[in-house]
Amino acid sequence: MEIKSIKYDYNNMMSAYIGEKEGIKPKELSAVKAKAIEAHEYVAKNRGKGMMGWTELPYNQKEIVEDIIFTAKKVRRSCEAFVVLGIGGSALGPMAVFQALCHLRHNDLPKSKRKAPKFYVEDNVDPERMKSLLDILDLNKTIFNVITKSGSTSETMSQYLIIMDLLKKAFGDKAKDHIIATTDKVNGSLIKIAKAEGLKTFFIPDGVGGRFSQLCPVGLFPASVLGVDIKMLLKGAGFADRSARKADFKTNAPLISATLQYIAINKGKNINVMMPYADSLKLMADWFAQLWGESLGKAVDLNGKTVYAGQTPVKAVGVTDQHSQVQLYTEGPFDKVVTFIGVEKYREEVLISGGLDNVPNVSFLSGHTLNELINCEMLATEYALTKNQRLNGMITLPEVNAHTIGQLLMFFMLQTAYIGAMLNIDTYNQPGVEEGKNATYALLGRAGYEDKAKELKSRPEKCPNYIVK
Amino acid sequence: MEIKSIKYDYNNMMSAYIGEKEGIKPKELSAVKAKAIEAHEYVAKNRGKGMMGWTELPYNQKEIVEDIIFTAKKVRRSCEAFVVLGIGGSALGPMAVFQALCHLRHNDLPKSKRKAPKFYVEDNVDPERMKSLLDILDLNKTIFNVITKSGSTSETMSQYLIIMDLLKKAFGDKAKDHIIATTDKVNGSLIKIAKAEGLKTFFIPDGVGGRFSQLCPVGLFPASVLGVDIKMLLKGAGFADRSARKADFKTNAPLISATLQYIAINKGKNINVMMPYADSLKLMADWFAQLWGESLGKAVDLNGKTVYAGQTPVKAVGVTDQHSQVQLYTEGPFDKVVTFIGVEKYREEVLISGGLDNVPNVSFLSGHTLNELINCEMLATEYALTKNQRLNGMITLPEVNAHTIGQLLMFFMLQTAYIGAMLNIDTYNQPGVEEGKNATYALLGRAGYEDKAKELKSRPEKCPNYIVK
C-alpha cells in the first residue's frame, strides 16, 4: 500500500478568502505564534509522561499487538457476535474504527460474506436497549469484551453483572470463556473480578485516559477481531505523530489547526462543526466530539483561574446535513467553524445509470457517478459557506483505510493536546462529571453517600406552576 | 390505552432554581408575554394556510389514512425489505418514528420475530453506502418508497435512477411493482415520472414543507408498513395541538417552551441541546435538529432586516453522553439550554441481577434495575447542571408509544412555529441552501448554469502555503 498523507486546507479560515470581517488575518496568526510554539514545546516535553502516555502508543506495543492479533483470530473463529460493554472512550473509538474500516452494513451481510462476527457496542443502560440486545443474541455464540479502566463505571459494571449472571446460568464454569476484560493492570474493581473469575485480560496502560485510548487495547482488540489491520492503524498514527515533530505551521497540520481554532474561540466562535462527507466517517465525528468537548470544557485553568473554557462540538454528515443544518450554517449567527472531511477516492464507484431524457432537472444527473455528485456537493457547500463569510477548513483523506484512519486519530489527539496547552487547562481530567456520579450514588442509596442524599433532599420543591401538561 | 399527556418542566430555567445570574426572572418572562401572545395569535390565525398546512394533518386525512393502511398491509406481506429513498425531512421523520416505535434491533431480529420487513432509509449519496445497500438487498423481495415533493432533489433522484435501472433490468415491466412514489399531486418531476411509469403514488399536501411532513404520507406510509398505529400517532398530535389552543403559559407547553428559548437566545444562549434518556428517542433529536436549525437559521427577518437568527441544535443521548459531553455542559461556557427528555415507564424492565459482595463499588448496583439506574442518572445530571447554574428543562413522556410520539412531534412543530413568529422570520423557507445547490449544478456541468460555473472558476486560487500535508 502506498503511504499517503492526509492534508489540512485552511484557506477558508483566512481573511484573503473569507473576507476581512470574519477571516483570520495573517497578523492575528503571527500574534499567537509564540503561544503555539510554547504549546508545541509543552506537548513535546511531556510526551509519554503523566496523562500523555497516548503519544507513545504507536511505538511501544509490539508484544501486546501480537497477543491481540492472536487472541482476536481465535475470537473471530469461535463466535458469531462480539459485543463491547463500555461507555465514553471505551465505546466511541471502537465504533468509529468499525464504521470506517468495515463494510458499512457489516451486521446485515450474510454470514458467508462476513469475515468477522457481528459487532455490537453497548454504551447505554436503557433497559429497552439491553432487552433488545438479549432478544437477538445467541449467548452460546457470543463473546463479550468488558472495557473499563477503573472497574467502577456504573453503566459498564451493571452490564457486566447482568451478562455474567446470564452466562453463569447458561454455562456454569465455562462462563469465563465468553468474557474478555480490558482494564487497569493493577488497580480497580475489574482487574480484581477478572482475576477471581479467571478472565482473559488486556491492560490499559498508565497515562492513557478514556478519550485517548483508541490506539491501546481498548480500541485495538475490537478492531482486530473485526479484521482491521491494527499494525497499519498504528503505523498511520506514528506517521502523523512524526509529521508533527516541528513547531512549523507549514508542516504541522494539527498545530496550525489548533492555533486557528484557538483564535476562532477568542473571536467568539463557540461551536465546532465536524462534517465528514462519507458515511464511513460519521462516527469519527462522534469520537471527536468527546475528545474535544471533554478535554476543553473546563471551569478553571491550570492556575486555578475561573475560565469556563470550551467549544461545543457538533456532528454533521455530508451531504445528508445539507438538507438539515446547512441553512443554519450559511445564514445563522457567525458562531461556528465548520471542518469538512473529504475523501479523494471512495472504495466504491457507483454510476448514475438510468436515463430520463424528457425530465431535464433529473436527466443531467445521468452518466455522472455518485462519487462526482458527493464531491461536487462538498465543494459547492464549501463555496456557499465561504461566499457567506463562514469560517471553514477541510481535511482530506486520500482514501479511508487503516493508515489514514490512524493518521486522523493522531491528528485530532495532537490538535486537542496543543489547544489544551494554549488554553492553559488540564486537557486530561473531567472533574465536572463527579457531581453527577455522586448524585447517582446517593439516589441509588449507596453506602457512604448519605450526606449527598441529604443535600439532594434539601433542594427547594419544584414549583407546580412551572410544570405544564 | 389510557391517554396521558407529556409534560414540560421548566423549573430549572428560572432564577428561583438556577440562581439570579443565569436564571430567567419572572419579570423577564412577563416582559415578553405580549410577544408570546402575538406569536400564538399569528399561528392560530394562519393555521392551515400558506406553509402552515401541517397544523391540520391530524384532522384532514381520514381517507388517505385508509389508503395508506391498506397499501401498507400489502407491502408488509409482499417484501422482506422496505427502503425509503429520501433526504432531510423525507428521511429524518421516518427514521425517528421507526426507532421510537419499533423494536430497537428490528432489522437484527429473525424473520419469525419481526412483524414487518427490514427497514432502511437512504439519505446520502455516498457511493460506498449505496454499494453496501445493494450488497445486502434481494431486489426480488424489496420495495422502495421514493420521497421528494419537487422531484428535483438531486440526491433522491440519483438514487431513484440507479434503483429503477436495476429494477427494469431485473423485472422489465414489473419494475413498477417495486417502487412507490410520495410526491406533489400536480407539480414537479416525480409525479410526471410516476405517471409515465404507472407507479403507485401518495401525495404530499400543499402547505407541508419537508421538515413539517412527518404526519403526512411522507412519514405515515413508512410507519404503517412497519406496523405503527398511525391513527394513534395522529390522535396524539391532535391531542397536543388542542392543548395549545390557548395563549396561556400554564397550559400551553410549546408556547412557554418557545418563549423561554426566545429569552435564552437573547441572553446569548446560541446552543440548544436535546438530550433524550432513551435510545428509542435518539433519532427524534436528529429530526428536531433539522426542524429547529433550518426553521430558525435565517439571515433576514420578515421586514428584510439582516438578523442572522438561529440557535444551533445539538443532539445528545443520556446516559451515553454523560461520558462525552456533560463535562462541557457542566463546566464550559454558559452558552446552552439543555432539554432532557425523560421516560416515566420504559417498555422493558431489566434487573441488575448478579452479585459481587466483595467489590463494594460494584455491589451496590445489584438488586436495582436498569430502569432505576437510567432515571437516577438523569436526575443526577439535572441536579449537577442546575447546581452549576446551567439552564435546563425537562420533557417527560409517560411512555414511548404512538400517542406520545404524536404529541412530541406536534409539541416541537408548534414550539418552532411560535418562536419563528417571535423572531419575526420566515420559519418555512430555506433560501440559504440555494447557493450550494446551484454551485453543485454548475460543477456537474448542468445546462443553464454556465454563469455560475464561470463564477466558480473565477475564484482566487487557493494559497498552497495554507494547505498542510
pLDDT tens, B45-86?
A: 999 999 999 999 999 999 999 999 999 999 999 999 999 999
Instruction: Examine the pLDDT at A460 and tell me if it is beyond 90.
Output: no
pLDDT at A377: 97
List chain B residues with CB under 8 Å of A438: 380
pLDDT at A356: 76
Q: Mean pLDDT throughout B433-443?
A: 93
The strand pair at B467-468 and A7-9 is best described as antiparallel
pLDDT tens digits, B7-50: 999 999 999 999 999 999 999 999 999 999 999 999 999 999 99
The question of whether B294 is a catalytic residue gets the answer yes
List chain B residues with CB under 8 Å of A266: none
Q: Mean pLDDT throughout B210-224?
A: 98
pLDDT band at residue B5 under the 50/70/90 scheme: very high
Instruction: Examine the pLDDT at A43 and tell me if it is beyond 80.
Output: yes
pLDDT tens digits, B80-108: 999 999 999 999 999 999 999 999 999 99
pLDDT tens digits, B161-170: 999 999 999 9
**Residues A391 and A23: beta-carbon distance below 8 Å:** yes
pLDDT at B146: 98
pLDDT band at residue A220 under the 50/70/90 scheme: very high
pLDDT at B354: 75
Q: Mean pLDDT throughout B339-365?
A: 91
Cell of B399: 411512555
How far lies A168's CA from each of A78, A105, B44, B362, in Å? 19, 32, 61, 18
Instruction: Examine the pLDDT at A1 and tell me if it is beyond 80.
Output: no
Q: Which residues contact B90 (CB under 8 A, 6 or more apart)?
A: B84, B123, B147, B148, B153, B156, B182, B210, B213, B218
Note the maximum CA span of chain B: 75
**Model-level ipTM above the cut of 0.95:** yes
Work out the mean pLDDT of chain A and round it to a whole number: 96
Instruction: Examine the pLDDT at A39 and tell me if it is beyond 80.
Output: yes
Please report which helix (H) or strand (E) contains residue A50, including its range.
none
Shortest CA distance from A163: residue in chain B: B354
pLDDT band at residue A354 under the 50/70/90 scheme: confident
The verdict on A468 touching B (C-beta cutoff 8 Å) is yes
State the first-to-last Cα distance of chain A, in angstroms, to the nearest integer: 61
Q: Mean pLDDT throughout B323-332?
A: 97
pLDDT at A246: 97
Q: Comparing A362-366, B52-56, B358-362, which segment has the lowest mean pLDDT?
A: B358-362
φ, ψ (nearest 5 deg) of residue A124: -150, 170
- Kindly determine whether residue B440 and residue A315, on different chains, have CB atoms separated by under 8 Å: no
- Kindly determine whether residue B325 and residue A289, on different chains, have CB atoms separated by under 8 Å: yes
pLDDT tens digits, B227-276: 999 999 999 999 999 999 999 999 999 999 999 999 999 999 999 999 99
- Kindly determine whether residue A383 and residue B456, on different chains, have CB atoms separated by under 8 Å: yes
pLDDT at A358: 79
Instruction: Examine the pLDDT at A253 and tell me if it is beyond 90.
Output: yes
- Kindly determine whether residue A87 and residue B310, on different chains, have CB atoms separated by under 8 Å: no
Instruction: Examine the pLDDT at B356 and tell me if it is beyond 80.
Output: no
Q: Mean pLDDT throughout B435-456?
A: 94
pLDDT band at residue A313 under the 50/70/90 scheme: very high
Work out the mean pLDDT of chain B and round it to a whole number: 96
Instruction: Examine the pLDDT at B2 and tell me if it is beyond 90.
Output: no
d(C-alpha A324, C-alpha A275), whole Å: 12
Return the residue in B295, B307, B466, B467 with the most chain A beta carbons within 10 A, the one to mutate for interface testing.
B466
Instruction: Examine the pLDDT at A156 and tell me if it is beyond 80.
Output: yes
- Residue A157 has its nearest CB partner, among B189, B278, B365, at B365
pLDDT at B131: 98
**Predicted TM-score (pTM) above 0.95:** yes
List chain A residues with CB under 8 Å of B130: 348, 350, 370
pLDDT at B204: 98
The SS3 call for residue B87 is coil
**If you count residue pairs, one on A and one on B, with CB atoms under 8 Å apart, how many are there?**
510
d(C-alpha A252, C-alpha A26), whole Å: 17
Note the maximum CA span of chain A: 75
**Residues B178 and B167: beta-carbon distance below 8 Å:** yes
d(C-alpha B313, C-alpha B311), whole Å: 6
- Kindly determine whether residue B439 and residue A379, on different chains, have CB atoms separated by under 8 Å: yes
Instruction: Examine the pLDDT at A261 and tell me if it is beyond 80.
Output: yes
pLDDT tens digits, B368-406: 999 999 999 999 999 999 999 999 999 999 999 999 999
Residue carrying C-alpha cell 477568542: A266
In degrees, rounded to 5, the angle at the alpha carbon of residue A434 between the alpha carbons of residues A430 and A435 is: 130
Please report which helix (H) or strand (E) contains residue A335, including its range.
none
Selecting among B178, B294, B336, B403, the annotated active-site residue is: B294
